[in-house]
Structure 1
């Protein structure tokens, strides 16, 4: 897991307050940036490298990197220079380095590094900077952002292929709307002990190594892995049931008239022997949300459940997992807070609204998206491995079944949501064929590769 912070500037100050010199942090940040560029330049034949510089500490990291790279060009965009920048500029000039005087032809470079603005920049970009970024973004160069793409979250920004975070991962880089601008996210080491730099994390980014799934013992049988009940229609309900079965559930029953899979048992109703229940997938009759049978069984509530006010009866239960996509989350916020929040507003502020919900209710929220958020009270996790492959009907149904499978195997609701979401994304990421051909059944089949 990688720690996530809303504001990493406090970490720099924390390190300095504990005796670490600012120049050391700056030097190590620049060395990390230079190291990344050296690695990437091997992919080119005599790569031509250009740095775009602002005048603050973000640009200072780049000035240090230039000193360690030597063969590169740099262009100042004309912003006010702070004392650190002036100091590093003088050091470079003493080495004989000369800054470009005129705007370069960006299509002549193989690698372009954005070191214009850091995370503290909040104003709109000026016309000159926007025009430069438009030219750079349209070039074929490999584009690297130092710490954060300049202008991210504003009307226009640098579009990076790689973003190198300095010491800590910022929350804004994991908002859904930023996915196309940040590229691949890497975290630079500042050469100091985490005990001196990293305070208690505000959240965590999950990766493949964090995955924990059901493990079958040699002397086990199907009853050890739970009996999952799915309440949904023939198509969506069956997909959820197959997700549960292929993710480790011992038995799976679908409460429906029929199913397209011979592997799934059919039931007329949910029975008290259920280990966990997933419901809502294509479900038209939502009266089941009033049934007392749901009171003492772990639940996954999805899809059509967000159309019913009866959903409110489950939000203070710690053994309930909600799995809305943004439109369903908009409905949920309306039910909970009587607020009309547009999908666009949610997508630009996913962490804010997810935390607002979690601060009020006890259940687990899994807000699906390009960067899915899993949160319960003050614990939150992000899975940013999702691909456009998953933008197909039925993908969310399979995920609900997978969560139910882990609940039935006695995973805690938070752990069930985390691990199912992570596995779900990893399967889609492994798909090597035309991404348009990926579907929910291929997702189910791909679970064998986890």
Structure 2
């Protein structure tokens, strides 16, 4: 698990005051980090364009230009005069080398690498027409694209203002920034690398409420006890409703994961149910967790919510006022997609927004929910899962577009529900289920359009 920060200015200030590291030293490390990446990635004498703004991000670019000089055919584009003393100093240094500098970009860029040093993190306004046109030109080139700190045009929430640089690699300085893990920035950041700024990250970083889940955080429920029994390994009850397929997918996912038993709850006989699944009209006495909402519809037994069992709640329940009863209980996991979460926020009288507003700042609205229901574990689905619990936020960035298929969310519910039934805490079950879900796509061809929910379920045994 890695720390993530909304802003890092306070961390930079600690370097200045506590460790006596100057701004010049931090810039030297920033430039060196990108230089080292280019040395490993790009052959000598290739043509490199460094696009510099007038602030400290641009000054980082000037340091980089100095470090690349003579090894590469380097061109510096200056969008204006440097505004700070340290920026002017960096400009003087690189000028003394005789570096090639331009103040007008050619209409056709013929470079092997483009490095974006226009803006760093902290943008709080819309780009002007000139800046927007620069980014359009950079994005249209076939050159390998590197962003210094964050892709220019992203604000601190990860929202393009109104567009941003589309990087192949982002080398971010000092620590991970929250803006790099917004859904709307996922197609713009590329591979993310963290550079230290003169001290190790463990020294540079402080406490935070934001964390990035690592694949190593997935602790699979291996069975180590020899003397055990299926009932002791947990029993998940999956409530089936109007759209039976969703409940069946959830149950099949759960059956292949942690718990020892899975039962489908339905008043009607379900055809073609897997032989390993059981069916009942009511909750079995041995039930240790309940999954409800998947394909549920409006006609269901409300008493299924009226117990103290751990529950994972999904899909149709987020449009039903009965969910408010469940929110008063302990050991509850919610897994809405954006449209469902917007409905939930409205039902809870927290706020009335549309889906687009939510997507512009998913963390903000997750926090609003957590402020009211800190005991609930919330997993907001999307390109990156956001897990919220006790006003802490955990981001799973490992999902891919392969998971954008019907029934994928039902598979996720099954993984989490199975882990709940197995005996994990709601938070641990959600982290495990989320990471297992995104790990299921690892061996599929990148960008595959043919993967279905049943294909994901078949992969569970290979985790």
TM superposition shift of 1:39 = 2.2
The answer on whether the counterparts of 2:79 and 2:103 sit within 8 Å (CA) in structure 1 is no
Q: Distance in 1 between matches of 2:332 and 2:457?
A: 23
Q: Does 1:227 align with 2:225?
A: no
Q: Does 1:396 align with 2:403?
A: no
Return 5+ residue gaps in structure 2 as ranges: none
Tell me the equivalent position of 1:3.
3
Q: Distance in 1 between matches of 2:377 and 2:128?
A: 42
Q: Does 1:366 align with 2:379?
A: yes
CA-atom RMSD in angstroms: 1.8
Tell me the equivalent position of 2:311.
299
TM superposition shift of 1:150 = 0.8
Return 5+ residue gaps in structure 1 as ranges: none
The answer on whether the counterparts of 2:237 and 2:262 sit within 8 Å (CA) in structure 1 is yes
Tell me the equivalent position of 1:448.
461
Q: Does 1:243 align with 2:253?
A: yes
The answer on whether the counterparts of 2:396 and 2:435 sit within 8 Å (CA) in structure 1 is yes
Tell me the equivalent position of 1:173.
180
Deviations 1:72-99 (A, max 9, x none): 2211112553111111111212233231
Q: Distance in 2 between matches of 1:446 and 1:104?
A: 50
State the TM-score, normalizing by the size of structure 2: 0.92
Equivalent of 1:139, from 138, 141, 150? 141
Q: Distance in 1 between matches of 2:124 and 2:145?
A: 22
TM superposition shift of 1:433 = 6.5
Equivalent of 2:216, from 209, 214, 237? 209
Distance 1:338 1:209, change over 3 A: closer
Equivalent of 1:426, from 417, 421, 439? 439
SS at match of 1:73: strand
Distance 1:359 1:430, change over 3 A: farther
TM superposition shift of 1:349 = 0.9
Q: Distance in 2 between matches of 1:96 and 1:141?
A: 24
SS at match of 1:381: strand
TM superposition shift of 1:105 = 5.4
Tell me the equivalent position of 2:27.
26
Tell me the equivalent position of 1:81.
83
TM superposition shift of 1:218 = 5.4
Matches within 5 A, 1:37-436: 37-42=38-43, 46-70=45-69, 71=72, 72-78=74-80, 80-104=82-106, 106-152=108-154, 153=159, 154-217=161-224, 219=226, 220-233=228-241, 234-256=244-266, 257-260=269-272, 261-285=274-298, 287-291=300-304, 294-337=306-349, 339-361=351-373, 362-432=375-445, 435-436=448-449
Higher share in helix: 1
The answer on whether the counterparts of 2:175 and 2:201 sit within 8 Å (CA) in structure 1 is no
The answer on whether the counterparts of 1:18 and 1:196 sit within 8 Å (CA) in structure 2 is no
Q: Distance in 2 between matches of 1:447 and 1:324?
A: 22
Distance 1:285 1:353, change over 3 A: same
Q: Distance in 1 between matches of 2:386 and 2:51?
A: 33
SS at match of 2:13: helix
The answer on whether the counterparts of 1:386 and 1:429 sit within 8 Å (CA) in structure 2 is no
TM superposition shift of 1:285 = 4.4
The answer on whether the counterparts of 1:406 and 1:416 sit within 8 Å (CA) in structure 2 is yes
The answer on whether the counterparts of 1:211 and 1:419 sit within 8 Å (CA) in structure 2 is yes
The answer on whether the counterparts of 1:330 and 1:340 sit within 8 Å (CA) in structure 2 is yes
How many residues are treated as equivalent by the alignment? 447
TM superposition shift of 1:392 = 1.1
Q: Distance in 2 between matches of 1:156 and 1:195?
A: 33
Distance 1:433 1:221, change over 3 A: farther
